[in-house]
């Protein structure tokens, strides 16, 4: 797991907004998506092996969060935790999640898996799991259940594919959806030198149009 950048990168900016601008972030999500209810962000797991002392959720570990245990029955949580081992692969190939939200409104409870991006290359991902039979089976089931077409789920957008497979799995017991958060000017790597801030690397996306163009190039198309 990579270390979090100080002052740059999707992980840093997501945590920054959650720590200092949470109301603003939730308001934007309410305005830009169909998520109109209360948004409860689950606390992140601790990880003393990282400089930040915090980590990311792996697979369905987030289901152990007390917030969810208070909202869902032990039977539902237990069934999802146990069944994941049969649905997906080993511990070393678990999806690393940027965040998890419990969405509450007067009609239902919903889990929202969050992915944050700060530069264009973060959209692409690679995998060596193409020969994994469990993952192949999970992808086949996900395509059918979510009505998705794709040229190759083990290609450059494997990360999106495994997130969709996670959504498909959760929907066996709980309503679930996927939320992408794209940051503008989110990858300006800076340093303080002689009391002045110097820019040493910039991989930022500066306008919404560039993000939209990159999203359109994904080889997984969801039929809405």
| Residue 102 within any structural domain of the chain | yes
User: Strand 188-193 relative to strand 148-150: parallel, antiparallel, unpaired?
Assistant: unpaired
| Residue 74 within any structural domain of the chain | yes
Measured in whole angstroms, the distance separating CA 114 from the mean position of its chain's CA atoms is: 3
Q: Give per-residue pLDDT as tens, 68-85.
A: 999 999 999 999 999 999
| Residue 218 within any structural domain of the chain | yes
| Residue 1 within any structural domain of the chain | no
Tokens linked to 82: 């146990």
Q: Give per-residue pLDDT as tens, 90-128.
A: 655 788 999 999 999 988 999 999 999 998 888 877 776
- The whole-number pLDDT of residue 90 equals 65
**Beta-bridge partners for 97:** 57
Domain that holds residue 62: 10-222
| Residue 95 within any structural domain of the chain | yes
Q: How far apart are CA 100 and CA 39, in angstroms?
A: 10
pTM: 0.90
| Residue 199 within any structural domain of the chain | yes
- Sequence-ordered alpha helix ranges (H) in 88-221: 133-146, 158-170, 208-216
Domain count, the chain: 1
């Amino acid at each position: 797991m990579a270390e979090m950048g100080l002052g740059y990168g999707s992980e840093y900016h997501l945590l920054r907004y959650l720590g200092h601008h949470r109301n603003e972030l939730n308001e934007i999500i309410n305005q830009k998506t169909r998520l109109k209810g209360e948004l409860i962000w689950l606390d992140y797991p601790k990880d003393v092996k990282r400089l930040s002392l915090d980590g990311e959720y792996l697979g369905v570990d987030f289901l152990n969060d007390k917030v969810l245990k208070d909202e869902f029955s032990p039977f539902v949580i237990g069934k999802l935790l146990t069944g994941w081992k049969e649905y997906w692969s080993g511990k070393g190939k678990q999806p690393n999640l940027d965040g998890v939200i419990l969405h509450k409104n007067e009609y239902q409870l919903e889990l929202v898996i969050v992915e944050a991006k700060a530069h264009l290359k973060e959209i692409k991902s690679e995998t060596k799991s193409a020969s994994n039979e469990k993952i192949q089976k999970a992808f086949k089931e996900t395509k059918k259940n979510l009505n998705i077409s794709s040229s190759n789920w083990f290609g450059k957008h494997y990360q999106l594919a495994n997130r969709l497979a996670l959504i498909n799995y959760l929907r066996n017991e709980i309503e679930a959806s996927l939320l992408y958060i794209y940051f503008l000017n989110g990858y300006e790597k800076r340093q303080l030198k002689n009391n002045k801030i110097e820019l040493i690397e910039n991989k930022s996306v500066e306008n919404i149009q560039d993000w939209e163009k990159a999203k359109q190039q994904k080889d997984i198309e969801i039929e809405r």
